[in-house]
Amino acid sequence: MLHVAEAARVSVATVSAYINGTTTVSRELSGRIEQAIREIGYKRNAIARSLKIGTTRTIGLTVPHITNPFFTDVVSVIQQAFDRAGYAVMLCCTDEDLNNQDEQIRLLLDRMVDGLIIARVGDGAYLKETVERANVPVVLLDREVDDVDSDRVVLDNHQAVFDAITYLLDLGHRRIGYITGAFNITPMRDRMTGYHEALLNAGLAFDQSLVRSGDLHEADGYTAAMQLLSLHDRPTAIFSANNPMVVGAMKAIRDLGLSCPEDVSVICFDDFPWADVFNPQLTTIAQPVQAIGEQTASLLLDRLNGNREAPSRRLVLKGRLMVRNSCRPLQAGANTTASVA
């Protein structure tokens, strides 16, 4: 900018005023400045600017895994929204690891991001302090943390799973295997209660042996399904609480020489673009990813636009059961408890 000022024979203040339109600058000087900028190929240094004005027009976004199609989509939507609003987004993937998350949030905060979107990992308590210290607005995505004062957008996980399990029950399934992750993140907890309540609602007892929990990865889904399907009276249906694990589960089904939906019905959380193209066409719970992403972005943008003091908001969206053909109705006879080899 100094060079531009010299070349245009004006002060840097005038150049700044011209660029930002802060003050009117005469036709004459405008012309000289414009030309100098062009000749020199000057670009404003956003770092210096940020230092001065105290805002970076950058936000931080951390998710567990970008390869999980739910997060892929949500990240994509969020990215677009901030792009439109003139913000850059720094993306971090925690890989479901608490240390990574800590480190990355610290990194983002150091870099003076204007806001933070966090799909957290690990125990909520850890994050509470971090969030409260960060004096930038944060919105929690998908996974909440209790009694921390920040905006959040989540799914009605309980209801969504309740619906899905009820659907299976209506088809006549009684032994429904449930593959989940650790309960230290809210969605897994809420999804589980949906399972519970659906069983309860149908007057069925809860059988602990039908629940397997892993670490949310494909491999965990594989082992979980392997175990479930090796039970003496194996479940007639399997519900997977996330998408990566269902891939593992399907592989287990394949490797055991079973097939879906003939031998075992399957439903999973999170829809994906291929679901209705290949067979079996998986019945899934679709989250409204577009809405989730947009709402998340707009909550944060609202704060960034100055609405700092409003009480924290909690948006709850509804999932939708996408019924396809991975679940088959059971004959009346097979309902009760038995199964065949």
**Least CB distance from residue 67 to a copy of itself, whole Å?**
5
Partner residues linked to 214 by β-bridges = 181
CB of 65 to a copy of itself, least distance (A): 8
Over the window 40 to 79, marking each residue x when it contacts a copy of itself by CB under 8 A and - when it does not, the resulting string is: -x-xxxxxx-xx----x-x------xxx----xx-xx--x
Residues of span 8-27 touching DNA by CB under 7 A: 9-14, 16-17, 19-20, 22-26
Choose the contact partner of 16 out of DNA, a copy of itself, none; CB within 5 to 8 A by kind. DNA
- Residue 273 binding result from a copy of itself, DNA, none, given CB thresholds of 5 to 8 Å by partner type: a copy of itself
Q: Among residues 48 and 323, whose Cβ is nearest to DNA?
A: 48
* Residue 76 or 312 having the CB closest to a copy of itself: 76
Nearest to 304 by CA among 48, 77, 82: 82
- CA separation (Å) from 19 to 7, 13, 31, 37, 235? 15, 10, 12, 10, 68
- Give the residue from 101, 117, 124, 253 showing the smallest Cα distance to 182: 124
Going 223 to 225 to 229 to 231, the CA torsion angle's sign is: positive
What are the C-alpha distances in Å from 317 to residues 3, 76, 147, 199, 218? 53, 18, 20, 23, 26
Q: Using the minimum distance from each CB to a copy of itself, give the nearer residue, 66 or 330.
A: 66
DSSP state at residue 332: G
- Considering only residues 36 through 65, tell me which ones interact with DNA, judged by CB under 7 A: 42-45, 48-49, 51-54
| Beta strands across the sheet bearing 320-322 | 211-214, 176-181, 237-240, 265-269, 283-286, 320-322
Taking CB under 7 A as the criterion, which residues in 78-137 touch DNA? Answer: none
Pick the binder of DNA from 6, 7, 29, 197 (CB under 7 A): 29
Report the interface residues with DNA, using CB under 7 A: 1-2, 9-14, 16-17, 19-20, 22-26, 28-29, 42-45, 48-49, 51-54
